[in-house]
Amino acid sequence: MTESTPLVSSASGREVLPSAVVRFAGDSGDGMQVTGDQFTAAAALARNDLATFPDFPAEIRAPTGTLYGVSGFQINFSSQDVYTPGDAPDVLVAMNPAALKTNLRDLKRGGLLIANSGAFTAQNLKKAGYETNPLEGDSLSNYRVMSIDITKLTVAAVKELNLSTKEAHRCKNFWTLGLMFWLYGRPLEPTVQWIEGKFKKRDDLVQANIAALKAGHAYGETAEIAHHRYEVPAAALEPGTYRNIGGNTATAWGLLAATKLSGLDMLLGAYPITPASDVLHELSKYKQFGVTTVQAEDEIAAVCAALGAAYAGNIGVTTTSGPGMALKMEGIGLAVAVELPLVIVDIQRGGPSTGLPTKTEQADLLQAVYGRNSEAPVCVIAASTPGNCFYMAIEAVRLALKYMTPVILLTDGYLANGAEPWRIPKFADLPKIDVKFRTDPEGFHPFLRDPKTLARNWAIPGTKGLTHRIGGLEKDFKSGHISYAPDNHELMCQTRAQKIAGIADDVPEQKIDLGDASGKLLVLGWGSTYGSIREAVQRCRARGLSVSHAHVNYLNPLPRNLGDLLKRFDRVLVPELNMGQLVKIIRSQYLVPAESYPKVQGQPFKIAELYERIVSTMES
Amino acid sequence: MTESTPLVSSASGREVLPSAVVRFAGDSGDGMQVTGDQFTAAAALARNDLATFPDFPAEIRAPTGTLYGVSGFQINFSSQDVYTPGDAPDVLVAMNPAALKTNLRDLKRGGLLIANSGAFTAQNLKKAGYETNPLEGDSLSNYRVMSIDITKLTVAAVKELNLSTKEAHRCKNFWTLGLMFWLYGRPLEPTVQWIEGKFKKRDDLVQANIAALKAGHAYGETAEIAHHRYEVPAAALEPGTYRNIGGNTATAWGLLAATKLSGLDMLLGAYPITPASDVLHELSKYKQFGVTTVQAEDEIAAVCAALGAAYAGNIGVTTTSGPGMALKMEGIGLAVAVELPLVIVDIQRGGPSTGLPTKTEQADLLQAVYGRNSEAPVCVIAASTPGNCFYMAIEAVRLALKYMTPVILLTDGYLANGAEPWRIPKFADLPKIDVKFRTDPEGFHPFLRDPKTLARNWAIPGTKGLTHRIGGLEKDFKSGHISYAPDNHELMCQTRAQKIAGIADDVPEQKIDLGDASGKLLVLGWGSTYGSIREAVQRCRARGLSVSHAHVNYLNPLPRNLGDLLKRFDRVLVPELNMGQLVKIIRSQYLVPAESYPKVQGQPFKIAELYERIVSTMES
Amino acid sequence: MADLIEPTRLTKKDFETDQDVRWCPGCGDYSILANVQRVMPELGLPLEQIVWVSGIGCSSRFPYYMNTYGFHTIHGRAPAFATGIKTANPELSVWMATGDGDGLSIGGNHLMHCLRRNVDIKILLFNNRIYGLTKGQYSPTSEVGKVTKSTPSGSVDQPIDPASFALGVNASFVARSIDVEAQHLGDVLRRAAKHVGTAFTEIYQNCNVFNDGAFDSFTDKAVKADRQIRVEHGKPLVFGAERNKGLRLNPATMTLEVVDLAAGGVTEADLLVHDETNSVLAYMLARMPYPAFPVALGVLFCELRPTFGASLTTQRQAAEQKYGGGDVDALLGGGNTWTI
Amino acid sequence: MADLIEPTRLTKKDFETDQDVRWCPGCGDYSILANVQRVMPELGLPLEQIVWVSGIGCSSRFPYYMNTYGFHTIHGRAPAFATGIKTANPELSVWMATGDGDGLSIGGNHLMHCLRRNVDIKILLFNNRIYGLTKGQYSPTSEVGKVTKSTPSGSVDQPIDPASFALGVNASFVARSIDVEAQHLGDVLRRAAKHVGTAFTEIYQNCNVFNDGAFDSFTDKAVKADRQIRVEHGKPLVFGAERNKGLRLNPATMTLEVVDLAAGGVTEADLLVHDETNSVLAYMLARMPYPAFPVALGVLFCELRPTFGASLTTQRQAAEQKYGGGDVDALLGGGNTWTI
Ligand SMILES: Cc1ncc(C[n+]2csc(CCOP(=O)(O)OP(=O)(O)O)c2C)c(N)n1
Ligand SMILES: Cc1ncc(C[n+]2csc(CCOP(=O)(O)OP(=O)(O)O)c2C)c(N)n1
Ligand code: SF4
Ligand code: SF4
Ligand SMILES: [Mg+2]
Ligand SMILES: [Mg+2]
């Protein structure tokens, strides 16, 4: 929820808000990500439900003051359930003119703008393309503006420690954080502790940053600012132990958990690529889980190394994004042909080609389902929230091992970098994954199948009496030897297809995520759009519209009941962060006139735009 | 047409047949392909319409006598129009037991079997898995059998020339050809000339092969064989000059013609792969057409070299098959992003993975349309007959140059190796392709578009005043510079999509290839299935069934009138040599309940099986 | 690596499969297969502990004919698969068969990275200087001017010398032999098997269908003694039918000379002595201009160096000692958490 | 190749674009860019005749900052694009910018084949021994034990030396320089520009964000004279602040020794003389163990050899002479035809 209409003033004299959306924006060097993380931690400790999303520049370290060098971090925290980082900020912190220029358009009318007037120098204004200083004049009259020379005040606050000017300026973000803590009544202590840990090698920096933090807070206390303070009470979250988690971390941890749930070692073959690299980085820290990470020479070697490891009895995993995914297709095709388990995680980004590497998109779905030569069916699933990445990663491993098949897990840049509070599961409560290697030579051949799952038996090198050869040429259904026989080829193609189709009986039926089981309109989504669709549908229902929301996690095969479910609605709308991909599959498979609502801007859906589209659809 | 019910006996005392299907089968070393080619040339000179199809073993030179070493060549020649090499042979020539074992099942009941009894040795029988000699006993009583010791007779015929036994045996195929010429009343002279040319370096071999040819013919004349001879009269082909042409040759020649039609040089980047290699081989012979062939280190380098050449102003072409196609997808994605012309020819083969390299399949359609990361639309077209490959190759170049886009041309192993008589077009009658390079610096940027085609202007290196940079990152619609702006990205995605969609207005409307414009059933095909579908539908219509045939050459975008055309039929049946791919696109795009008739056996459709499926569909 | 001295009960027969071998009659691959099957029992390893990996090509059909575990993968990628297999299970003895196209054209990059990582696998590159399976196009090892189906007017690219390539990317073991030289090939294979690290062996192999006689000029009985030099560690570089020729270094120009020992004046003492640990010498021997110089065969280079797998195992053990076996609850519960 | 003596009216400014350069402040790429822009006018070529091609990486952003034609392609494939461009239009002067990841990790195979084919393009490999654009993972040139985001316990793979790699695959020109050594880099770039064939130049480049100071130990003012040896064709291999050290060959072991010219006894006459046409010497210099030996900079190897393009042009001209310009009617009407 991003609406924040004032409620009764609380005892504290603070204005109580159900929720608030805050965005920190500044130069890459201004430490906005750190500020955001600390502000998030504070909100979490205050028991708010929340969602965050960082927005990095594509450049590593863009020159200071430039528009493309602006780095942002948005948090939506609330006393109610939160599903997205929010559409429009209630509060915008702009550390320089470029940050103001690129972010002001999103700030709510009447929202609060906190600007570091110290950075509004002629040079910076020019870099940001301002003729005149927007802090002067009335161009900002639609907003409540706090123009503060944060630079000067920070330098003053830390002068005892005589740091270099550069280092002194670096403390600006903590000064700002202190002010924001004052504004929302958060304790400083946790951040103080964090600073002490973070800079332990440099005591002067510890002192300085703490001084800045306190100065910012004190400034709020003392300075004469005609402005009331806010309070966002705790949310009524399900009981449990929580942590804040991002999508890439959750994916990595799900894979780690899978090693223990299955008792198998894991080999990750990966080649760095934005926004997937962090999964490689995270997994490389946990060798004690029996995980080996191989940074391969390219994506092809990465998938091949993972498949080789799978042949040898490991959980073979490879992680990548769009362009790398395209390169892996031939290797995945071999995995289909030899029927070995393989997990491919595609953390989608903006395309085509190199496209918008740091932006989000959902446009690899059709590539995942159809992007291989000949008939090479694989299982495709998707995660819908950062926390959900954990469970879908485990699911990907489970299905791959049980069906001896490649499983593609789709997440995206929005999930990868977004974060949310997450109720920590107990390992004991996670479903075990049982794996049986073939050991009995009696009547063995490599393509003997489980009559129910159609999975072939997995006989790994080292097993006595089961030496055998496999490869990419077609094989005889009955002996596993190479076969070019026409009927056998058709039988094998059908068998591979049926094996994947059969997975539908092993995964949950499609449920209605929000709303009635039938009605005028079903909004059908998949992947990272979960939060925005849910909130938009919620608003529509609040207005009494007959709309429901169903969100698909299993994309190939689709849930066995999906066809019936769709037919219970007059109309189906499919919002996707692409030009319309799931909608193609739905229309083809069920012949329902599902309508596409495409968005390809490298940005997630805003709740408001979804809301309007749903309303207009229903009126049309 | 493969039916061959005897007509009136002709003056010549020969039984006149409307058409005949003959299959030559023997060891890889027996020269069956040469025999087939010569028999084909004779039929062509006799003005028959015809279609041929060779069936090689996957091995280079399989050991003699083995089942997997059998090489076959089938020809269907007729006094009427011919669209396929025919389902079942009327005459089977089996040069050894393995050839008999693997081919007998196809021979028509009552058909003629000519077997070289000399090769039916104990050892060969064993290799072929025969307990007893099938030429003895009555296991062949369903056929008319001519069991001749061709080996002995050949050796006798050439003994004057005292060749080595090996060389003497090598003449067997011409002896057999001589006999077949006698059987169908063909002149020996053309073959005699061919032999003289072929072996000009070895006069003894010239003599020997001619001697064998004549001996086989004389054997027919003189030997007491209670068997009548056949005559297949000339077909009433459209007037014109004809040649026999195979699909890969036609593709290569179409590309060569395109260089002269456009006035541009061509660079082919290719990496050898069955069944595509012959296009590389053919093009490498014609440097005088301004064609440079680069045998790259892999398929990725091949497509990238072609795209580099396109950037520099050449026609960039790359040729491959399934697994290689998968590897090219990232490069094709870049071609989409930079909007350069590129022709990709995918000569499809059996998969998945390495699959059945020497067999045919149509299963790369979805890969061609959807197999790239993100939204990367390309134009996809297909050839329907060997001769049609010539025209579709020209069309691929035309569309690529006009719309500054990659165009994927799909053919397959069946078209590649099949052959048919082809009416030779005049260069003057072929439509010119006009190309305009940008030269005017005035207001130039690389992504300026033609308002009608939406093609960007093509400014090639070397052009004064137009230096510019392009790449795979998203670009600004208005300046062509790198842009990460959300709305611009969407605009660019839409523009790229519209550009491809717009091609529909530039290609022929979908026509009904056979039958009425509306009715009970439309059989919708694409690619190499043209001949079999046409003949099957013809038979159904002969039986009075309300069936029509429409064959799609333009797969993305689909012909603009296809939707309406489909709706004029009660039902639509889509036969494909895959598990059902075009049918998915059709159902999704038009929401018509098109039914799939999939076949994945590495073999073309037989007319009979299509015929039965159509009939049963209509009865269901 | 198992001790090679230890006798084993396995014989050549045990390594043969029931599949009939589908190479062209007369192909050099047959004799390589036979020699490998002859040497394999000496590894002293049970069949199930051995894995043969390959890409695509005639040569890459090899695994189908070895009665061990085998993986016939995709074109050019065998080194990556082998890396995954060996890393997943260090107990396995992993062997790879590849061709000059599979290994050096499409697969050159994977081969290079496998060599520099020193993954403990044994690589046999069957160099027939042609693409066999696709019926005769030139390869990266074909000589300039090669007329093939794809180069009717002759190829224009400089060939690569596989051994120089391997040395340039820091291979730890580089050797050369010939398909039909049973004794020599056998010895080289034994050395390769013994080597701990990536053992790269180039085998000149005759493709009698598409490139027949490619190596005759130095493999024919009549001339081979004078056209080959079989290097041995610590031995002077002598060759010739009468062992009367040798290689001497000209230190001023840093080039090699062929000297005649018979002529007198020059003695073995003047010759270079082969030192298989000297990468520069190996590089020099690998690329001696032919026919002015003989073709160097045998183990050109061999150096012991930590393997990829050994280093990874060390890191893993260190992690296990430090953190124990990996605890999911501890993982998920670490860092900032709060309870409601 | 245009004549370099001929003066041209172009200046450094002419080669700058209106795009602001988006590398991190302090990145070595800036000085490489400046040096290239300084040398380019000397080519005597009009802007439109020059094409810069690159893959993906910080280094591969290079073309955007050169006011020539430019193609920023996909990761690792630049050599293939450059080959296509140069082959399609031999008139163009084609330059390529790549990184240690782009050129040697994903792109190693294309680089290798471009080098052996001797396509007439100039390749600059910016070696910062790290993946910059993806924010700091180790690369194929990172030293063993490198701690990065993807190798928290240190990398285990042996690095590749780009020059050795290039020599091993028969590159016709191999040179080395340093981002900030304007004079030296300028000279090397001039040599590269002059070379007809693939000119491969490795440039040590400092990534001050993810691998700062990687080369300080031999690039710092204080030590560089003693830690670098700048080779020049025909000159003895001397180095050191007082030019008092040299490289001598030990012919017995075929290894190098650092000798002290000051100590007396040894004179320049005893030193190896650099011969840039000797691939073995180049190989030896490229891989001298550091820090026992200095890092060799300059043109290590240079050999004239037919280029890929020249050979293709010859073949095409021969075909045109023999068959004329290519006649479609003759093509289609050739062989067996019949008329109805
Ligand atoms: C991705 C891909 N590209 C191309 C091919 C076709 N192909 C198969 S083997 C081969 C080259 C074989 O040459 P080599 O490696 O020397 O093996 P040889 O047959 O000579 O032993 C090629 C190009 C393929 N199977 N897959
Ligand atoms: C197919 C593909 N895989 C991975 C990436 C991600 N990626 C971009 S640049 C790069 C490596 C850059 O390293 P280097 O070539 O050394 O350039 P540098 O940034 O250090 O100059 C990687 C892995 C990509 N863009 N495309
Ligand atoms: S083609 Fe050549 S390499 Fe292949 S099997 Fe035949 S002879 Fe051997
Ligand atoms: S990351 Fe490193 S290489 Fe890339 S621009 Fe920054 S400093 Fe330069
Ligand atoms: Mg070969
Ligand atoms: Mg780098």
What tens digit of pLDDT does each residue of C59-84 get?
Answer: 999 999 999 999 999 999 999 999 99
Residue closest via CA to ligand 3's atom 6 equals C24
Q: Which helix (H) or strand (E) segment is B51 a member of? A: strand B49-55
Question: What is the model's pLDDT at position B225?
Answer: 64
Mean pLDDT of B148-172: 94
Higher-pLDDT residue of D340, A198 = A198
Question: What is the model's pLDDT at position A2?
Answer: 34
Please judge whether D113 and C140 are an interchain contact, meaning their C-beta atoms are less than 8 angstroms apart.
yes
Atom number in ligand 4 closest to CA A59 = 5
Per the CB < 8 A criterion, the answer to whether B380 and B555 are in contact is yes
Mean pLDDT of D286-297: 97
- Residues 19-78 on C with a CB inside 8 Å of A are 19, 46-49, 51-53, 56, 63-64, 66-74, 77
Per the CB < 8 A criterion, the answer to whether B75 and B22 are in contact is yes
Please, what is the average pLDDT of chain A?
Answer: 94
DSSP C269: G
Mean pLDDT of A197-217: 94
Q: Which helix (H) or strand (E) segment is A526 a member of? A: strand A519-526
Question: What is the model's pLDDT at position A11?
Answer: 62
Indicate if ligand 2 lies below 6 Å from the C-beta of D57.
yes
The yes-or-no verdict on residue C187 having pLDDT over 50 is yes
In the three-class reduction of DSSP (H, G, I as helix; E, B as strand; rest coil), residue C145 is classed as coil
Residues contacting A132, CB < 8 A, separation 6+: A125
Mean pLDDT of C155-169: 97
Q: Could you list which residues have their CB under 5 Å from ion ligand 6?
A: D 99-100, 128
Q: Which of B287, B314, B430 is the closest to D315 by Cβ? A: B287
Please judge whether D149 and A285 are an interchain contact, meaning their C-beta atoms are less than 8 angstroms apart.
no
Question: What is the model's pLDDT at position C248?
Answer: 96
Question: What is the model's pLDDT at position A580?
Answer: 98
pLDDT tens digit sequence for A428-476? 999 999 999 999 999 999 999 999 999 999 999 999 999 999 999 999 9
| Residue D332 sits at the chain B interface (C-beta within 8 Å) | yes
- Residues 210-269 on C with a CB inside 8 Å of B are none
Mean pLDDT of B196-221: 94
With beta carbons under 8 A apart, name residues in chain B contacting A87. none
Distance from the alpha carbon of residue C185 to the mean position of ligand 3, in angstroms: 19
Burial label for A234, CB within 10 Å (0-12, 13-18, 19+), is middle
Sort residue B212 into left (φ over 0), alpha (ψ -120 to 50) or beta. alpha
Distance from the alpha carbon of residue D73 to the mean position of ligand 2, in angstroms: 12
Would you state the structure tokens that stand for residue C12, as one six-digit string? Answer: 């050549």
Distance CA A509, CA A564 (A): 11
Among all ligands shown, which has an atom nearest to the Cα of B60?
A: 3
Q: Which of C315, C316, C329 is the closest to A427 by Cβ? A: C329
Per-residue exposure over C162-196, b if at least 16 CB sit within 10 Å of its own CB, e if not = bbbbbbbbbbbbbbbbbbbbeebbbbbbebbbebb
The yes-or-no verdict on residue D1 having pLDDT over 50 is no
How remote is the C-alpha of B457 from its chain's centroid? 35
Please judge whether C89 and A243 are an interchain contact, meaning their C-beta atoms are less than 8 angstroms apart.
no
Please judge whether C283 and D249 are an interchain contact, meaning their C-beta atoms are less than 8 angstroms apart.
no
Distance CA B111, CA B196 (A): 34
Residues contacting C10, CB < 8 A, separation 6+: C40, C41, C46, C47
Helix (H), strand (E), coil (C) string for A84-105: CCCCCCCEEEECCHHHHHHHHH
Q: Which of B372, B591, B599 is the closest to A326 by Cβ? A: B372
With beta carbons under 8 A apart, name residues in chain C contacting B68. 22
Mean pLDDT of A91-111: 95
Higher-pLDDT residue of A231, B524 = B524
Please judge whether C106 and B297 are an interchain contact, meaning their C-beta atoms are less than 8 angstroms apart.
yes
Distance CA A519, CA C271 (A): 93
Distance CA B567, CA D10 (A): 66
Indicate if ligand 4 lies below 6 Å from the C-beta of D24.
yes
**How close D126 gets to chain B, by Cα (Å)?**
19
Please judge whether C88 and A253 are an interchain contact, meaning their C-beta atoms are less than 8 angstroms apart.
no
Please, what is the average pLDDT of chain C?
Answer: 95
Would you state the structure tokens that stand for residue C123, as one six-digit string? Answer: 């690589």
Would you state the structure tokens that stand for residue A163, as one six-digit string? Answer: 């740091």
pLDDT tens digit sequence for D68-95? 999 999 999 999 999 999 999 999 999 9
Would you state the structure tokens that stand for residue B345, as one six-digit string? Answer: 């020819």
Question: What is the model's pLDDT at position B64?
Answer: 87
**How close C5 gets to chain D, by Cα (Å)?**
31
Atom number in ligand 2 closest to CA D74 = 26
How remote is the C-alpha of D205 from its chain's centroid? 13
The yes-or-no verdict on residue B2 having pLDDT over 50 is no
With beta carbons under 8 A apart, name residues in chain C contacting D305. 158
Mean pLDDT of C126-139: 97
Phi/psi of residue A554, nearest 5 degrees: -110, 110
Q: Which of B323, B490, B494 is the closest to A373 by Cβ? A: B323
Mean pLDDT of B6-19: 70
Mean pLDDT of D237-260: 95
Per the CB < 8 A criterion, the answer to whether B406 and B342 are in contact is yes
Distance CA B617, CA A204 (A): 84
Question: What is the model's pLDDT at position D7?
Answer: 42
pLDDT tens digit sequence for B109-126? 999 999 999 999 999 999
Q: Which of D108, D161, D166 is the closest to C109 by Cβ? A: D108
How remote is the C-alpha of B481 from its chain's centroid? 44
Question: What is the model's pLDDT at position C3?
Answer: 43
**pLDDT-derived band at A227, boundaries 50, 70, 90:** low
Sheet holding D238-239, edge to edge: D238-239, D245-250, D255-260
Indicate if ligand 4 lies below 6 Å from the C-beta of D23.
yes
Output the CA–CA distances (angstroms, integers) from residue A454 to A334, A437, A495, in the order listed: 18, 15, 7
Residue in C158, C94, C99, C108 with CA at minimum distance from that of residue C129? C99
pLDDT tens digit sequence for D133-173? 999 999 999 999 999 999 999 999 999 999 999 999 999 99
Query: Which residue does chain B place closest to D314, by CA atoms?
Result: B287
**pLDDT-derived band at B229, boundaries 50, 70, 90:** confident
The yes-or-no verdict on residue B105 having pLDDT over 80 is yes
Please judge whether B467 and D82 are an interchain contact, meaning their C-beta atoms are less than 8 angstroms apart.
no
Question: What is the model's pLDDT at position C276?
Answer: 98
Enter the pTM of the model.
Answer: 0.95
Per the CB < 8 A criterion, the answer to whether A76 and A84 are in contact is yes
Question: What is the model's pLDDT at position D3?
Answer: 43
Distance from the alpha carbon of residue D99 to the mean position of ligand 6, in angstroms: 5
User: Alpha helix (H) ranges present in B453-528?
Assistant: 486-502
Residues contacting D36, CB < 8 A, separation 6+: D15, D66, D124, D189
Would you state the structure tokens that stand for residue A211, as one six-digit string? Answer: 């001084």
The yes-or-no verdict on residue B60 having pLDDT over 90 is no
Cite the beta strand spans of chain D per DSSP E. 50-54, 69-72, 93-99, 121-127, 173-178, 199-204, 228-231, 238-239, 245-250, 255-260, 295-302, 337-339
Please judge whether D74 and A273 are an interchain contact, meaning their C-beta atoms are less than 8 angstroms apart.
no
Question: What is the model's pLDDT at position D279?
Answer: 98
Please judge whether D48 and B461 are an interchain contact, meaning their C-beta atoms are less than 8 angstroms apart.
yes
Higher-pLDDT residue of C33, B61 = C33
Query: Which residue does chain A place closest to D20, by CA atoms?
Result: A63
Indicate if ligand 2 lies below 6 Å from the C-beta of D97.
no
Q: Residue type for A513, please? A: D
Per the CB < 8 A criterion, the answer to whether B255 and B397 are in contact is yes
Output the CA–CA distances (angstroms, integers) from residue D291 to B140, D218, D224, in the order listed: 84, 9, 12
Per the CB < 8 A criterion, the answer to whether B596 and B545 are in contact is no
The yes-or-no verdict on residue A9 having pLDDT over 60 is no
Per-residue exposure over D95-131, b if at least 16 CB sit within 10 Å of its own CB, e if not = bbbbbbbbbbbbbbbbbbbbbbbbbbbbbbbbbbbbb
**pLDDT-derived band at B591, boundaries 50, 70, 90:** very high
Angle at C168 between CA C166 and CA C172, to 5 degrees: 55
The yes-or-no verdict on residue D4 having pLDDT over 60 is no
pLDDT tens digit sequence for A381-435? 999 999 999 999 999 999 999 999 999 999 999 999 999 999 999 999 999 999 9
Residue in A311, A310, A348, A343 with CA at minimum distance from that of residue A326? A348
Mean pLDDT of C144-158: 97
Query: Which residue does chain C place closest to A428, by CA atoms?
Result: C329
The yes-or-no verdict on residue C39 having pLDDT over 90 is yes
Per the CB < 8 A criterion, the answer to whether A144 and A92 are in contact is no
The yes-or-no verdict on residue B4 having pLDDT over 60 is no
Distance from the alpha carbon of residue D225 to the mean position of ligand 4, in angstroms: 27
Among all ligands shown, which has an atom nearest to the Cα of A325?
A: 2
Question: What is the model's pLDDT at position A4?
Answer: 40
Please judge whether A374 and B327 are an interchain contact, meaning their C-beta atoms are less than 8 angstroms apart.
no
ipTM above 0.90, yes or no: yes
Distance from the alpha carbon of residue D116 to the mean position of ligand 5, in angstroms: 18
Q: What is the dihedral of CA D264, D266, D268, D270, to 10 degrees?
A: 170
Cite the beta strand spans of chain C per DSSP E. 50-54, 69-72, 93-99, 121-127, 173-178, 199-204, 228-230, 238-239, 245-250, 255-260, 295-302, 337-339
Per the CB < 8 A criterion, the answer to whether B570 and B519 are in contact is yes
Own/partner contacts of D22-27, CB < 8 Å, gap of 24 or more, are: D22/A59, D22/A62, D22/A63, D22/A68, D22/D61, D23/A59, D23/A60, D23/D58, D23/D61, D24/A59, D24/A60, D24/A61, D24/D208, D24/D209, D25/A61, D25/A63, D25/A64, D26/D208, D27/D58, D27/D206, D27/D207, D27/D208, D27/D209
Mean pLDDT of A584-590: 98
Query: Which residue does chain C place closest to A464, by CA atoms?
Result: C48
The yes-or-no verdict on residue B12 having pLDDT over 70 is no
Give the strand pairing for B569-576 and B595-598.
Answer: parallel
Per the CB < 8 A criterion, the answer to whether B61 and C21 are in contact is no
Beta-bridge partners for C228 = C295
Question: Is the alpha carbon torsion for A238, A244, A246, A251 positive or negative?
Answer: negative
